Amino acid sequence: MNHIKYIAVAALALLAVACDEFPPVNYDDPAPYRVYTDADFADSRLVTIAELKDMYNGSPVDIDEDIYIKAQVVSSDQSGNLYRTMYIQDAGNPELSVAPEAIELKMGTRNLYNDYKLGQWIYVKCRDLTLGDYNGMVGLGYRSHDPEYETAYIENQYLIDTHVFRGEMDDPVEPLLLESDEDVMNEANFGKYVTIKGLTYSNKLFVILYYDPDGDHQDYQGNCLFLDEEGGERYGNYGIDTWAISENAFQALLDDPEFDFNGYLEDNGIDKSRFVAPYSYTISQYFQTSAEMGGMDLQIRTSGYARFADTKIDQRILDDATFNATGILTYYNSGREPNYQFTLLDLGGIEIPE
């Protein structure tokens, strides 16, 4: 019977060892995120966004100081009209009469609104990040290895985790009311959450379409049409009266034999079948500030990936009703002429006064 004893002892030992790793059945819910406070950055120097932007000297600046900024999130990519980037706006420094400013934080990850809420305070440790210009706007990102760009997206989660920290939730920032075209053109307002009142529709469209003129499916990247320039006002909005246009809707237009961009294609001998999928195109509508403000052209930037892309512009606006827009003021100057743009966060930013 000794064998039975040995086997029994071995079996019990096996059971005891194995019991140690039975899988758990229940898990407690994780604790809420840690909320960072000023105290967590006591070993760094707080700078305002204005001070930070002032560090930019015309070429990319790799920050090698232990400085940080504290700002509130003023943008959301929930609607899809912003992609991989976020705008933050600080409180300035009232003691030193430094006004609040905003900056684009080139995060590089998608669906940022899940992690960074409108109004939430965030801290950005700036050491190892890079200040750089993109067509006239200074932003904060990572060092770029592409000579075409001064900054790159931060993008890598380890980099984000070591540079961007979530602070307290707070009420969303109140939009700054821009009262004149000078306000629109004021560099200090770029990136801020703003409201512009009294806008009207210009019946003008900014369109870049890539197409394949000889149909050989080659070198399509070099073949593009800037319709606002080539077509001018003769073609109005080219028959597109939505805020933007999705790929499916664009395909539907190409499939529609009646649709020819208000006669533009026919006038210019362009065969629609030469457009190359996947389509590359940019479409944004133009608006005009009120006469009181100065009556400047303002492009409301929209993306074909925005959820509201195929939503028709309110008929009242198309019929010349004035409206107010709230969103992010941006600027784009590719060298030809400055473009003051307005980035909608969502269609909730469009208000037609009764």
Partner 1 sequence: MSKTKLLSIIVMTAFVLPVAAQNTGGGKDDDPPFRTKDLPDSLRRELRQNSMEMVWTGRGQSSGGVKGKVVNRSGRVPVQGAELQIFKGEALMGTVYASSDGAFLFENLDNGLYLMKVSAPGFLPSQVNVEVEGFMKDLMFVSLLPANVVNDIDDSSFADFDMDDSGYEDAPSIIYGNDIFSNIAGYDFSAVRFRNRGYNSETQDVYLSGVRMNDAMTGYTPWALWSGLNEAMRSKETTMGLEASEYGTGGFNGVTNILAMPSSVRPGFRFSVLSNSALYRLRLMASYASGELDNGWSYAFNVSARLGGNDWVDGVYYRSFAYYGAVEKKFNDTHKLGFVIFATPGQRGAQNASTQEVYDLVGSNTYNSNWGYQDGKMRNARVRKTHEPVMILKYTATPSDDLEASATLLYRTGKNGYTALDWYDAPDPRPDYYRYLPSYFYMEDPDYDRIDIEKAAWATEAWQYNINGTQHLNWDRLYNVNYNNITDDGRRSKYTIEERRTDQNDVNFAGTVKWRASSLFTLNGGVNLKWNRTEYYKIMNDLLGGDYYLNIDQFAERDFASSPTMIQNDLDYFLKHGQAQMLGQGDKYGYDYYAHVRNAGLWATANFEKGGFKGYVSAEGGYTSFWREGLVRKGLFAGLDDNGNEMVYDGKVLTTYDSEGRAITSKGKSDVSQFFTYTVKAGAAYFIPGGHRVYANVGYLTDAPTFSQAFVSPRTRNTLVPDLKTTKTFSADLNYQFSRNGYDIRVTGFYTKINDQTDVMSFYDDSQNSFTNFAMSGIDQRHAGIELGFKIPVPVQGLSVQGVLSWGEYIYTSNPRMTQTVDNSATVIFNDELVPYWSSHPVFRKETVDGVTSYATDGNGNYIVEKNQKHYVPSTPQLAASLGLNYASSSYWFADLNVNYFGNTYLDMNPLYRTDMATAGPDGLVTPGEIEYMASQEKFDPVFLLNASVGKSWYINRKYNIGFSLEVKNILNNRGVRTGGYEQTRLIDSKSGERYYRFDSKYFYMSGVNYMLNLYFRF
> Considering the rule CB under 8 A, would residue 280 count as an interface residue with partner 1?
no
> Considering the rule CB under 8 A, would residue 275 count as an interface residue with partner 1?
no
**141 Cβ neighbours under 8 A, 6+ residues apart:** 105, 106, 108, 129, 130, 132, 151, 152, 153, 154
Tokens 């320039």, located at residue: 229
User: What is the nearest approach in angstroms of partner 1 to the Cβ of residue 156?
Assistant: 5
Q: Are 291 and 319 in contact (CB under 8 A)?
A: no
Site string for partner 1, 55-94 (x = CB under 8 A): -----------------------x-x--------------
Site string for partner 1, 305-344 (x = CB under 8 A): xxxxxxx---------------------------------
Q: In the set 38, 65, 110, 182, which binds partner 1 (CB under 8 A)? A: 110
> Considering the rule CB under 8 A, would residue 215 count as an interface residue with partner 1?
no
User: What is the nearest approach in angstroms of partner 1 to the Cβ of residue 299?
Assistant: 21
**138 Cβ neighbours under 8 A, 6+ residues apart:** 53, 56, 103, 131, 132
- Number of CB atoms found within 10 A of residue 58's CB: 7
Q: Are 314 and 350 in contact (CB under 8 A)?
A: yes
Q: In the set 64, 95, 146, 255, which binds partner 1 (CB under 8 A)? A: 146
Instruction: Show the tokens assigned to 219.
Output: 């070198």
Question: Residues for the chain: how many in total?
Answer: 354
Residue type, 309: A
Query: What are the φ/ψ torsions at residue 137 (nearest 5 degrees)?
Result: -115, 130
Strands 86-89 and 137-143, sheet pairing: unpaired
Nearest residue (CB) to partner 1, 264 versus 275: 275
Residues of this chain that interact with partner 1 (CB under 8 A) are: 1, 3-4, 7, 10-11, 14-15, 17-19, 21-25, 27-33, 78, 80, 109-111, 114-115, 117, 142-143, 145-146, 152, 155-159, 161, 216-219, 221, 246-248, 305-311
